[in-house]
Amino acid sequence: MSTPVAVITGVSQGLGRALAHELAGRGWALVLDARHERALHDAVRALPGGPHPAIAGDVADPAHRRDLVDVAAELGGATALVNNASTLGLSPLPPLAELDPATYVRLLEVNLVAPVVLTAALLPQLRRRSGVVVNLSSDAAVEAYGTWGGYGSSKAALDHASRVLAAEEPVLRVYAVDPGDMRTQLHQDAFPGEDVSDRPEPETVVPALLRLLEGTLPSGRYRAAELAAVPA
């Protein structure tokens, strides 16, 4: 059996880093992305196994996305894509009516356009391996929270794109996943000045993602807490 290959974006910290570490320990080959080169390579050095090529760059950059696709092909083709990289846009979060248009465009480029276009570019590889796409979503995609309009609408659109892709590509399993609150920098940035140390560590969400990546659940939208509560 060939080694499974996962492309994971946003792995320099938080959930992406935790998931990469677990998959590496389970024998996956990884193609890893983050914006900051030093933090990315620090994360990769801690991973077991290999190969785990790491490519620093912005997922909104077409040339960077092409690099991720090409490297995955060199490893035999992607078995899975985890679109984890996200941006809040601004901290503190502004009301929707005060959201700067340029910031909103950036939110959509990173949180929606980049995952959709990267998935499209990897489709030939994913189809050959009956692969998996995991798009990290948020409860803000389905709940109307004040000041979360920009981020939430970008994730709501990603949820819908995930459903469409699942309908169009029945050979794949396509998931949108709400990981819940976590003790991450993104969550801290969303609540500047607040103590978020009572939130669960990102590692607690990894078992739910493994159920999707290595299991047989049908395409759909899932909450990590629900996956963790139901026996595999």
Q: What is the pLDDT of residue 76?
A: 96
Architecture of the domain made up of 5-229: 3-Layer(aba) Sandwich (3.40)
Cis peptide before 101 (omega within 30 of 0): no
- Please report, for the chain, the start and end positions of each structural domain, with discontinuous segments joined by +: 5-229
pLDDT tens profile 130-150 = 999 999 999 999 999 999 899
Quick check: 129 pLDDT over 60?
A: yes
Q: Give CA separation, 16 vs 58, 101, 169, 175, in Å.
A: 15, 28, 25, 16
Take residue 160 and report the two structure tokens written for it.
């819908």
Q: How confident is the model at residue 66 (pLDDT cuts 50, 70, 90)?
A: very high
Which range is least confidently modeled, 86-95, 103-112, 201-210, 221-230? Answer: 221-230
Q: Provide mean pLDDT across the span 2-28.
A: 94
Which tops the pLDDT comparison, 51 or 74? 74
